[in-house]
Amino acid sequence: MTAPTMTSRSPTSTQRSSPRSLSTARSTSSTSTAAAAPAEDLKSFDAEFVKVDRATLFDLILAANYLNIKGLLDLTCQTVADMIKDNTPEEIRKIFNIKNDFTPEEEAEVRKENQWAFE
């Protein structure tokens, strides 16, 4: 697999994560031509692969999206979903830099409509 041409949008992250994700793509594609690896081995490989810090994980998501590697995208998105599923809205805003544009009344109403989720 040859290295793709970089766009100007996020060269740094793709440069940093491409070698890691490219080597994964090679290892998974080569197993499809040879005998398939046992499911448990692949699962534990996947679990180890995503044991990285959050910044690297986001870079992997961006790289997988750019290189259109669906399996890696599924794995990394699921990992991040599992990491943040118990966070409060304030924590999630901080992680993804989302601006809170609700007025206090609007926010109270949205919280009331979804009140069961906060119990």
Partner 1 sequence: MAPPCKKAAESGSRVPDELLEDIFARMPAKSVQRCRCLSRAWAAALSSSGFIDRHLRLANRRDGSRSLVFLPDPDSGDDTTVHAWSPRRPLVAVRRVAAVTRQCRGLVVLEAKGENLLLACSPARGHYVYNPSTGQVTALPEGKEASGAWPQNHAILGLGYDPSIRKHKVVRLYCRGELPPACEVYVLDSTGYWRAPSGAARTMPLAWATNYCTDQSVFAQGQVYWAAQPHKNYTGERVVMSFSMADEVFGILPPPDMDTTNWRITELGGRLCLFKDISAVCSYDIWILRDPLTGAWDLHCRVNLDAASPAATQLRCSTSVIPLDIVDDGNRVLLRPEPCNIRRENLGAHQLVVYDPANGDVEDLLADGSMITHHSMTRRPAAPYEESLESTGRPHEDIIFSSKSLQVLAQVLRRLPARILGRLKCVCRTWRAIIESGRFIRLHYEHRQELLCPCCPLLHAL
Q: Which of 5, 88, 104, 105 binds partner 1 (CB under 8 A)?
A: 88
Comparing CA positions, the residue from 43, 42, 41, 79 lying closest to residue 59 is 79
Out of 35, 81, 104, 105, name the contact with partner 1 by CB under 8 A. Answer: 81
Alpha helix stretches (DSSP H) within the chain: 11-33, 39-49, 54-67, 70-84, 89-96, 104-113
Q: Does 86 bind partner 1 (CB under 8 A)?
A: yes
**CB-CB contact of 25 with 69 (8 Å):** yes
Scan residues 9-68 and list those touching partner 1 (CB under 8 A): 10, 13, 43, 53-55, 58-59, 61-62, 65
* Opening angle at CA 52, ends 42 and 66, nearest 5: 75
Residues that bind partner 1 (CB under 8 A): 10, 13, 43, 53-55, 58-59, 61-62, 65, 73, 77-78, 80-82, 84-86, 88-89, 92-102, 106-107, 110-118
